[in-house]
Structure 1
Amino acid sequence: MSKLKLGTIEDDKPVKLTIEFPAPVHRNLLAYADAIGRETGQAAPDPARLVAPMIEKFMATDRAFARTRKGKSASKV
């Protein structure tokens, strides 16, 4: 099995958001949680706990977003 982009989910104080996902996205979150459980040998995490790390990973690897943030911080100096 290939290495998943997300590993174990760290326990941190969350900020509560209420969002709705299309059913296919929810099914994929369930499948991803199961895959993490199998890969780590632990119980599958709650799919809701995957959303923040996935968004964080997405933003961290989005080059256009990084350039935008860099430009904004440079303009604040």
Structure 2
Amino acid sequence: MSTTRKLRLGPLPRTENVRLTFACPASLKANLDRYAALHAQAYGETVDAEKLIPHMLEAFMAGDLGFKRTQPKNGKAAPA
């Protein structure tokens, strides 16, 4: 591991994925690419910016207290 500061988003876990497509501003894509480069420095594994997005969203929702309050008591997401 390099001497780069640890990032909030740690090493990426292996998960089952569902493909989604979305559009974002060019400035956000540039920042995602920059974050991916820092992530590669910190953890020694190259990762595409697109692979970071689901983990970032998951971390964001985990930290959103308003969203957490809507979770069922058993902790499982309600079916859509």
TM range, smaller chain: 0.7 to 0.9
Instruction: Extract unaligned runs of 5+ from structure 1.
Output: none
Aligned to 2:56: 54
Q: TM-score, normalised by structure 1?
A: 0.80
Measured on the aligned residues, the alpha-carbon RMSD in Å equals 1.8
- Give the total of aligned pairs: 71
Q: How does 1:39-50 map to 2 (within 5 A)?
A: 39-43=42-46, 45-50=47-52
Q: TM-score, normalised by structure 2?
A: 0.77
Q: Higher helix share goes to which structure?
A: 1
Instruction: Extract unaligned runs of 5+ from structure 2.
Output: 76-80
Structure 1 residue ranges, 4+ long, deviating more than 4 angstroms after superposition: none
Further displaced range: 57-66 or 12-21? 12-21
Aligned to 2:78: none
**% identical aligned pairs:** 35
The answer to which structure, 1 or 2, has the higher relative contact order (CA under 8 A, 6+ apart) is 2
